Amino acid sequence: MGFELILFYVFAAIAIGTTLLVVVQSNPVYSVLLLIGSFIGLAGLYVLLQAPFVAVIQIIVYAGAIMVLFLFVVMLLNAPREELVTSGILESPATRTIGAMLAIAFAAELAWALNRSSTLAWTVTDVTRRPFSVPEIGRRLFQDYAFAFEATSILILVAMIGAITLAGRQLTEGARLKSRPAGDASRTDGGMAEGGRAEGGRAQL
Amino acid sequence: MAELNHYLVLSGVLFTIGTAGVLLRRNVITVLLSLEVMLNAVNLSFIAFGRFLGSSDGQIIVFFVITVAAAEAAVGLALVIALFRHVETLNPDAFRQLRG
């Protein structure tokens, strides 16, 4: 009993600590790597919540696939450090006052809601119940939620085509690049050479 | 034994951190990362509710949320690449070409 609570606090501390660092960090590469730590903490919590299937796909899909995609884009863009310029609207005292008041109201509402819900005394009714097995979840997924599952496949397909269309170099652009002088040719190598990339970008604008 | 409220408070804290990241950061990639944090906070509350109600629906919804998050990340990052090609910066304040 007590051991589980300790584990909860350990994983919660990992999740909150790494997530805070993600938001505070100014280098996006560190942000992405720290977010993987946060996902691992959350996966631990899912195991505590008897959801091993979700814990595993959290690691495989989120930490393994999505974060690698992020890391790839961060490195591909050779992202410059964030310039800490605040726009004028954040500086004005009126905005700050309104923001602080909204934050206080939100915190009070949250405290009220949680205080109220604690009287309902949610506890696990059947502690010894085994976790849902993967076959069980798969059966539900392909029977009760078959339509949603198929719709998701279409969504993934559309997202894939959309990503290729948006990020892929258009053929017309490629043809234009070929007809340009050699100084701009570095743009075709994926934008890795920084000096050439900046020049090419300006020439394009 | 951790109760439901523990998980809900944790979920709320993570969601707040994510919201703060979306609103305060001036880097599109970090904004997208904060969006993922918010999605994960919601996932945690889904799993916690599913566990404490004794239902597998929570896990199935999280499965779909993760799928949609993958699609969102792919399209969002493609947009970031396309935008970066035009303005050479990741500052969202610079993306104002539609405004003229």
C-alpha distance from B99 to closest chain A C-alpha (Å) = 17
* CA–CA–CA angle B28, B32, B35 (5° rounding): 140
Band the pLDDT of A168: cuts 50, 70, 90.
Answer: confident
User: H-type helices in A49-92, by residue range?
Assistant: 52-57, 67-77, 88-91
A35-49, A182-196, B19-33, B39-53: which range is least confident on average? A182-196
Inter-axis angle of helices B4-24 and A93-117, to 10 degrees?
170
- Neighbouring CB atoms inside 10 A of A200's CB total 22
The full set of domain ranges for chain B reads 4-88
**E strand intervals along chain A:** none
- What pLDDT is attached to residue A170? 62
Q: Which residues of chain B have pLDDT under 50?
A: 100
A59-91 confidence digits (pLDDT tens): 999 888 999 999 998 888 876 666 655 555 666
SS3 B11: helix
pLDDT above 70 as % of chain A: 69
**Tokens read off for A180:** 């340009």
Instruction: Give the H/E segment covering residue A12.
Output: helix A2-24
Q: Are A89 and A95 in contact (CB under 8 A)?
A: yes
Which residues on chain B are in Cβ contact (under 8 Å) with A84?
26
Q: Cα-flanking dihedrals φ and ψ of residue B55, to 5°?
A: -130, 150
**Tokens read off for B30:** 């970090």
**Tokens read off for A144:** 């009760």
- CA–CA separation, B87 and A79 (whole Å): 13
Q: Are B40 and B12 in contact (CB under 8 A)?
A: no
Please state the ipTM of this predicted complex. Answer: 0.90
Task: Report whether CATH 1.10.287.3510 matches the domain B4-88.
Answer: yes
Q: Which member of A54, A66, A162 has the closest CB to residue B69?
A: A66
Does B70 contact A66 at a Cβ distance shorter than 8 Å? yes
Does A50 lie at the interface with B, CB-CB under 8 angstroms? yes
B21-43 confidence digits (pLDDT tens): 888 888 888 999 999 999 999 99
Task: Give the residue from A204, A146, A147 showing the smallest Cα distance to A177.
Answer: A204
| Amino acid at position A162, single letter | G
Question: Testing the interface with A: which of B27, B28, B35 to mutate, by most A Cβ within 10 A?
Answer: B27
